[in-house]
Amino acid sequence: MERLQKVIANSGLCSRRKAEEWIKEGRVSVNGEVITEMGVKVSAHDIILVDGKPLPVLVKTYLVMNKPVGVLSSTTDDKGRKTVISILPKEYQGLGLYPVGRLDYDTKGVLIITNDGEFMHTLIGPKSNLKKEYLARIDGLITKEEVRTLEQGVVIDGKKTRKCDARIIDADRKNNSTLVSITLVEGNYHQVKNMFLAIGYNVKKLTRIKFGEVEIGNLSPGEVRELKPHEIKRLVVLSKFNLFNVKK
């Protein structure tokens, strides 16, 4: 027996959070009875309908994309803009895929895409300790002292960010800019950009180069590859046990 929202998410129809919303909205029934409360457990013999339709038979799929700039990290867009799902190869269309977390419209790099809701929740849920590494090209010449400030956490909207790792990769004095590596376990909205803004710097370009241990490799912008079984297992392990240690 498993919780209803987990079963719906595991079908690939949506994320677990979205499944909970649908249950509260009265869109889910079990054996003909509409369910509106959390905590209901179901078995493989129960008939589950969402909006009157049975759950899809899921072929679990796990991809990594080199997300290009100018593409939305979403499944659809009411303005007709390109999304990470719309640019997928034909063989991956119609599988109920969605991005794991988000990268900003003007941010590129590693993005995991799946239709496994439980897997997604493990990687980006509130208990996840999965590291994400970014390269940020910022306006100005940041100092080592300011980098240490970033590492200890900065206050954004009244809340202090968790500790992270950061280091200067390159200082371009001629063009007055710095390339900084920053590794986080958080993934709040515009987090990297807002962290640099908190200490007085604007981010010009942002690339996520690593998600857990998954890297872009030879993928061109917009290209995808399937994650290998050991990569999938490793992401789950790292999300649960890779506690963050900031270097001294």
Choice among 18-27, 45-54, 56-65, 174-183 with the minimum mean pLDDT:
56-65
Rounded CA separation 132/129 (Å): 10
* Whole-structure pTM value: 0.79
Residue 188 has pLDDT above 90, yes or no: no
Q: What is the dihedral of CA 98, 103, 107, 110, to 10 degrees?
A: -70
- What mean pLDDT is predicted for residues 231-245? 81
Active site residue 106: no
Rounded CA separation 215/212 (Å): 8
Q: Which domains does the chain have, with CATH numbers?
A: 2-54 (3.10.290.10), 62-127+216-241 (3.30.70.580), 132-211 (3.30.70.1560)
Residue found by looking up tokens 């590129």 in the block:
108
Residue 67 has pLDDT above 70, yes or no: yes
Q: Provide φ and ψ at 33, rounded to 5°.
A: -105, 125
* DSSP per residue, 86-117: TTS-GGGTTS--EESS---TTEEEEEEEES-H
Higher pLDDT, 187 or 98: 98
State the helix-helix crossing angle for 16-24 and 117-124, rounded to 10 degrees. 110
Task: Identify the active-site residue in 46, 104, 139, 170.
Answer: 104
Residue 247 has pLDDT above 50, yes or no: no
Amino acid at position 204, single letter: K
**Which pLDDT score, from 0 to 100, does residue 15 have?**
79
3-state secondary structure of 248: coil
Please list, in sequence order, all residues whose beta carbon lies within 8 angstroms of the beta carbon of residue 157, skipping any fewer than 6 positions away.
none
